[in-house]
């Protein structure tokens, strides 16, 4: 009798009760089906792990992954470096002028650097360009300090933004897109509530249930909502910077239990979980 081809061999997986030998489950499969099944299982596990890490807060536990605090510290470090570079350029300009005065030459004037006159080219090109760049940065910063433009200016995605903590506390009730599309952050009454990003106050209101409320429009189709305040420090149309005090947290109201901040974050018209981007 011929032996069956190995590729056409069939197998059966049986699960039965030990005492009565009653068959509970039976699965019949061939060798190719077994290989395909194992490969499919491995692919599903890999895809599941990828989705779990990419789309849930678990990714923040991976060593080396840049969480919100890391990004904020990176931005602050970059600002300090820029400030130090400006300081160094100022000292280089001062040293160059001091050398010129001692040598009996005319000192470099800032207006010549701004206007770009040929006489200023006696300074090294790197120093000349760097000083003009610093002056331009300062001028643009002054012009845009209190301007919230409606036009996009290379805005960053929400994952790349560095949010300021609105109030230090503990999340007493988390985010649920259907039932609770915001977070409640427990903090003592009288705590200062601060803006999470630069923006413009577009709405203020008061009612006996939620106290004073304030909404800020940020760049990149981003809105932040702050409720349960006993007092507001800004009104409609005010431009605010990240970390600017907005109000004072109220005691519990008729609809709330315990002193807490009602905080919402909306991105492109959809409520998002603030805890994914802000460390309270």
Length of the chain: 280
At 37, list the tokens: 């099944």
Residue 14 domain-assigned (yes or no): yes
Residue 257 domain-assigned (yes or no): yes
Residues 194-231: pLDDT tens digits? 999 999 999 999 988 889 999 999 998 999 999 999 99
d(CA 181, CA 31): 50
pLDDT of the residue at 114: 46
pLDDT of the residue at 218: 94
pLDDT of the residue at 52: 79
Same domain for 72 and 21: no
In DSSP terms, which residues pair with 11 in a beta bridge? 29
Residue 63 domain-assigned (yes or no): no
pLDDT at 63 exceeding the cut of 80: no
pLDDT at 110 exceeding the cut of 90: no
pLDDT of the residue at 158: 86
pLDDT of the residue at 122: 47
Same domain for 220 and 198: yes
Q: How far apart are the first and last CA of the chain?
A: 75
pLDDT at 187 exceeding the cut of 80: yes
Number of domains in the chain: 3
pLDDT of the residue at 5: 59
Show the domain range for 226. 161-276
Of 117, 143, 169, the residue that ends a domain is 143
Of residues 145 and 203, more confidence is placed in: 203
pLDDT at 149 exceeding the cut of 50: no
d(CA 192, CA 246): 7
Mean pLDDT of 22-37: 83
∠ CA(144), CA(79), CA(199), 5° rounding? 35
222 class by beta-carbon count within 10 Å (0-12 exposed, 13-18 middle, 19+ buried): buried
d(CA 218, CA 174): 23
pLDDT tier for residue 27 given thresholds of 50, 70 and 90: confident
Residue 255 domain-assigned (yes or no): yes
Same domain for 202 and 271: yes
Residue 156 domain-assigned (yes or no): no
The residues, any chain, with a CB within 8 Å of residue 114's CB and separated by 6 or more, are 132, 135
pLDDT of the residue at 258: 73
Task: Report the share of the chain in percent with pLDDT over 70.
Answer: 73
Residue found under tokens 């609770």:
180
Residue 154 domain-assigned (yes or no): no
Q: What is the CATH number of the domain that holds 261?
A: 2.70.70.10
């Amino acid at each position: 009798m011929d032996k069956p081809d190995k590729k056409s061999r069939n197998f059966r997986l049986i699960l039965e009760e030990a005492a009565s030998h009653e068959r509970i489950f039976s699965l019949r499969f061939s060798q190719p089906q077994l290989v395909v099944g194992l490969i499919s299982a491995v692919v599903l596990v890999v895809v599941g792990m990828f989705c779990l890490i990419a789309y849930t807060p678990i990714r923040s536990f991976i060593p080396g992954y840049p969480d919100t605090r890391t990004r904020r510290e990176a931005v602050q470090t970059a600002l300090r470096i820029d400030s130090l570079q400006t300081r160094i350029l100022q000292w280089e300009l001062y040293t160059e002028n001091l050398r010129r005065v001692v040598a009996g030459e005319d000192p470099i004037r800032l207006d010549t650097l701004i206007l770009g006159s040929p006489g200023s080219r006696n300074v090294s090109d790197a120093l000349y360009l760097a000083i003009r760049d610093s002056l331009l940065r300062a001028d643009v910063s002054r012009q845009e300090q209190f301007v919230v433009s409606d036009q996009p200016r290379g805005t960053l995605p929400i994952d790349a933004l560095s949010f300021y903590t609105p109030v230090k506390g503990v999340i007493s009730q988390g985010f649920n897109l259907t039932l609770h599309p915001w977070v409640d952050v427990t903090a003592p009454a009288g705590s200062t509530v601060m803006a999470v990003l630069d923006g413009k106050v577009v709405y203020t209101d008061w009612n006996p249930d939620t106290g004073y409320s304030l909404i800020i429009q940020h760049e990149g189709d981003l809105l932040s909502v702050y409720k349960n305040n006993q007092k507001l420090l800004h009104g409609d149309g005010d431009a605010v910077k990240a970390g600017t005090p907005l109000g004072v947290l109220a005691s519990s109201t008729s609809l709330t239990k315990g002193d807490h901040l009602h905080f919402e974050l909306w991105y492109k018209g959809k409520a998002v979980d603030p805890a994914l981007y802000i460390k309270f």
